[in-house]
Structure 1
Amino acid sequence: MDRMLLNSTSRRLKLLELLNSSSQWVLVNYVAKELGCSPQTVISDCEHIENEWPDYLTIDFSKKRGLRFQMVKNHPISDLYKEIMKEALTFALMEAAFFNPGMNSAFYHQKLFISDSSLYRVFRSLKPLLQERGIDFAQTSYTMTGSNELQVRYFLILYFLEVNKISDWPFPLDKKQLMKTIEIVKSIYEFKMNVSFSNYLLYAMAITIIREQQGFKIRPSIINKHLNVNPIEPSENLDLFLQENFPEVDKNSFYLSIFWWNYSWNNAQEKQNVRQYAEQFMSLLSDSIGIKPSAESNEAIVTWMMHIYARHQFYPYEKFILYDHYHYATVSVKRTYTFYTQKVAECLDQIEKKSRFPWKTTYLNEMLHKILLLWANLLDSLEQLQPKISVVILSNIGIEHSDILSYLLQKRFQEKITICFSGDELTLDKTLDYDLCISNYTIANIDEDNLIVVDDIPSNKNWLDLSAIIRSKTHL
């Protein structure tokens, strides 16, 4: 959805994605080619990004090495995306239309401080992208509607969650009042509550209440379609809360809008079929990686796969606007745990072919992320499967120094390396087979890919380089 941004902003986002996807330096010419612009434009964009968001990131530049991107401490990259979204006129128009439906263009000229021609251009860029998600955006009244109001609400929930931080509250409703419902919800559905899910519930309730108050109702045919198959289990406490505080909100619409995953199944057989496919996937994956999950972990992943299926049926569109959380969350997973990534992809592909559901095509990143979270002790088990790399340590200032390097390296990487020789070049057996040579001086007859030179006592930069090369030489 970066088409909602100016060309320059869209290009800068792609620049950030390129730099963030690499833990190493990236050549300027390579970036320019990928972005379809000149090297000078790349440099200018980097300067603009650093000047615009100095509290969030730094971009190092070297004529020889290229570019290297780093987020500032205590700022995840998602925070940067939120700032970019908040500054985009298209999103400002969309928010204003949500909070103020039915207003004419004069209102938006004043609200957004833009001319009539600029408003028209922003509207023209926003309308087709909302249409791709089943939402109609009327220019005469600047209202967002759709054939399925449930999907309109879910889109808005996703948007506001993506653009706001956990501490933000953008709605004209009493947050503390809505917080009271969280305990009620927990008692109904026995959720494992965390900060993110609690925030989802608050945002979902706020958007549902606001849309209901504005007069945007879910069609009775849609309500009946869902409830005929999946009847609501009412909660007296929740019903009473709505009646006392928001009497204009339809109870059935409220349940469907917020707890949609309970009401997205066409029939009981469909639900059973999806469970069977999920269980088959877990069996395939367990056999492929040689690790057996606990019954609790297995059930948690199966349940999440059923959640994915229900969500896809309910809302078959992209689940993010600009910031794809699962994509970024799995960048390092794919780089570090290649064996795990490969096996998950293979097993999802098999289940996708059987079920004709896009498990791998659409949901690979989400599955890679969720399996690691829900499978207890999986990372420990994967680490144990990882073959250690053999390391030679050479020093030009004596055996005592090579022993110090050995001690430091063993302490830092004991689960990842085996030191097969420590000493000087003169006593090294030339026939010795090893994966990596670590030395405090440059050695001419060793392949650069298998050599890393460190300071006598490794610096922070040395440790980062060592971690990167050791990780690259493992294939987990």
Structure 2
Amino acid sequence: MKRKKEKAMDMHSMLTTAEKRRLTIVETLLERKTWVDLDELAKIASCSTKTLGTDFQFFDMTWQEYFVVEFSRKSGVRIHVNHERKMNCIYGETLQNSQFFQFAEMLFFKPYETGSYWLSELFISESSLYRMVQTLNGSMEQVGIEIIRQPFYLQAKDERWLRLHFTNYFDQAYGIGRWPFKEFQQEPIVRMIGEIAKKLNMRLSDEVVFNHSLSVGVAFVRMSQGFRLELNDKKNHEIDEYILGYEEEIQEILPFRLPTDWHKELAQMIFHPYYGWDNEQEMARINGYVSDYLDVISKEVGLELVEEDRAAVQFEVVSLYTKYKIFPYVRYSLFDNLKFQAERVFENYPNFSREIVGNLQLMEKRTHFPWYSKMLYHIIDILFVEWSDLPIKLEKRRTKVKMLIVSTHGQTHAKILKGILDMQFHYRVEMEIYEGSVMNKKTFPNAESYDVIISTEPLLEFAREKLFVVDNIPNVIQLGEIAKEIDRLQLKLHVGTPKK
């Protein structure tokens, strides 16, 4: 397969100046992960520091549940994320509140309306409508989608592109808890997908099932409007028959008659890994490369990939290949959540990350397919979702930080303290209790033998940079500071998995 150049739909061009600026501020603070000077941030966001202050007030009033911005006269500002997965909601809210995105969504649901209808519906002038259409076309044409006027409707060079684009849009704009299709129910669709996946021995998460259900919803809307797929594979497959078996149940929830071959369209969109091949040789070749890649990763990091997990990882990685053949474009609208999560993997497991990256680069070179340049974040996500207990296994392989516990309240309390710290840092530290008396300086152990020293008193005999003074029962702040030091030490030692 020839390597295709990935195109990106410029979603940010459809935001207002304020929306783009606020997202730029948030993304900059997330990327830096530390203090950012206000003047520098204002320059990056192309605004004044006064405008930054207004945006910070907006964040505090509107997005406080997602993150908090901390201020320092000396250092500037930094961001504290309350829950990383919730960051998606910021972008979902932005999509929902954007006039451009809402117009595109309305065009999806209401094709063939006239310009007069949209002028009345949107309460805008003819020139404003013209500018909106021009802006949308300027962005969507990059992924093969176009707004046709008089009457207005959406058209794509390949119907698959439009369906996958709107599936991705609804996924980000609505999230797993909301269903955008008011004309029919979600539950029968989810049940159909889940039951067929079991027949095929596919291990699907709720997120994947939800995304597939959106794909079905988008397909039904387009079918009801008269838009059909040109089927790549017209032969009958068992999956076609599985889906056809739900025809009566699905027909009951729909306000239109299912067209001929509706089940084949769903099969080739949802279960594309079974259809998206030019020939059997291509399928065998790509599966072979992915299998070899997993062998190398498992061997190099010294971690077993059990058969069930391996089958799930293999299937999901190969699915990236067949989906890219269908839709060679970026799969997010405004926020690449997979990149956000992958950066945490790079930070916490640097050596494991190097193995993933290095071997993907090699596979990309051999197959002439963008495994590394386009699929890296997806593959990291697959590994950490489908490889059972992978983070725990990696933690166990870290070089443990050596910790000495010194208590002035006796050995019983020292053991209690050890138990508390063990619950917090079980796989990450090697702990030892000082059994002597702090009154006898001659029996003190050599501080050079330890990375961290925990004490209930500020003992001057130990180096200040290693000493952490805690309460009899360490509080959350003290435990947090110890955790940061353990992180720093382990990253300094380049621990995570052995080097090649």
TM-score normalised by the chain length of structure 1: 0.86
The residue that corresponds to 1:200 in the other structure is: 211
Map of 1:227 onto structure 2: 234
Residue number in structure 2 paired with 1:337: 349
Q: Does 1:76 align with 2:86?
A: yes
Q: Which moved more, 1:74-83 or 1:176-185?
A: 176-185
Query: Secondary structure of the residue that 1:59 maps to in structure 2?
Result: strand
Q: Does 1:372 align with 2:380?
A: no
- Helix, strand or coil for the counterpart of 2:180? coil
SS of residue in 2 equivalent to 1:132: helix
Cα separation, 2, equivalents of 1:286 and 1:292 = 6
Q: Compared with structure 1, are the counterparts of its residues 438 and 109 closer, same or farther at alpha carbon in structure 2 (3 Å cutoff)?
A: farther
Query: How many angstroms apart in 2 are the aligned matches of 1:37 and 1:420?
Result: 54
Query: Offset of 1:392 from its aligned partner?
Result: 5.0
> Does residue 1:264 correspond to 2:280, yes or no?
no
Once residues 338 and 142 of structure 1 are traced to their aligned partners in structure 2, the CA distance between those partners, rounded to angstroms, is: 51
Moved more, 209-218 or 310-319: 209-218
Aligned counterparts, 1:408-447, within 5 A: 408-419=420-431, 432-437=448-453
Describe the superposition over 1:411-457 as per-residue Cα deviations: whole angstroms up to 9, x where unpaired: 42232123468559966566724434556659799575x56565665
| Identity in percent | 23
Pairing 1:14-413 to 2, within 5 Å after superposition: 14-21=24-31, 25-29=35-39, 31-32=41-42, 34-72=44-82, 76-175=86-185, 176=187, 178=189, 181-182=192-193, 185-186=196-197, 189-218=200-229, 222-223=230-231, 225-227=232-234, 233-235=240-242, 236-241=244-249, 246-251=256-261, 252-391=264-403, 403=414, 408-413=420-425
Give the Cα separation in 2 of the matches to 1:201 and 1:312: 16
Q: Distance in 1 between matches of 2:127 and 2:469?
A: 60
The amino acid of 1:227's aligned partner reads K
Query: What is the rounded CA distance, in whole Å, between the counterparts of 2:33 and 2:288 in structure 1?
Result: 39
2:233 maps to amino acid: H
Partner AA of 2:227 in structure 1: F
Cα shift at 1:311:
0.7
Q: How many residues were matched structurally? A: 470
- Residue 460 (structure 1) aligned with residue 476 (structure 2): yes
Greater alpha carbon shift after TM alignment, 144-153 vs 55-64:
55-64
1:123-156 per-position Cα deviation (integer Å, ceiling 9, x unaligned):
3322122111111122443321112111111111
Q: Which amino acid aligns with 1:234?
A: E
Question: 2: distance between equivalents of 1:329 and 1:2?
Answer: 21
Q: What is the rounded CA distance, in whole Å, between the counterparts of 2:74 and 2:474 in structure 1?
A: 23
Runs of 5+ in structure 2 lacking a partner?
A: 1-10
| In 2, Cα distance between equivalents of 1:187 and 1:63 | 58
1:202-228 C-alpha deviation (Å, 9 max, x unpaired): 32222111111112222xxx32x3336
Higher relative contact order (CA 8 A, sep 6+): 2
TM (norm. structure 2) is 0.82
Q: Is structure 2 residue 488 aligned with structure 1 residue 472?
A: yes
> Matches of 1:75 and 1:424 in 2, distance apart?
50
* CA–CA separation in structure 1 for the residues paired with 2:451 and 2:216: 56
Contact 1:182 1:198 (8 Å CA) reproduced: yes
Q: After TM superposition, give the deviation of residue 283 of structure 1 in Å.
A: 1.3
- Contact 1:184–1:237 (8 Å) recurs in 2: no
Q: CA deviation at 1:199?
A: 2.0
Q: Distance in 2 between matches of 1:258 and 1:250?
A: 18
One-letter identity of the residue aligned with 1:285: I
Deviation at 1:269, TM superposition (A): 0.8
The answer to whether the 8 A contact 1:227-1:263 is kept is no
Pair 1:459–1:268, CA change in 2 (3 A):
same
CA distance in 1, matches of 2:69, 2:279: 53
State how far apart, in whole Å, the 1-side matches of 2:161 and 2:204 are. 24
Question: What's the CA shift for 1:85?
Answer: 1.2
Moved more, 35-44 or 143-152: 35-44
Q: Deviations over 1:218-239 (max 9, x none)?
A: 2xxx32x333697964244134
Distance 1:187 1:398, change over 3 A: closer
Write the distance in 2 (CA, Å) between the matches of 1:291 and 1:187.
28
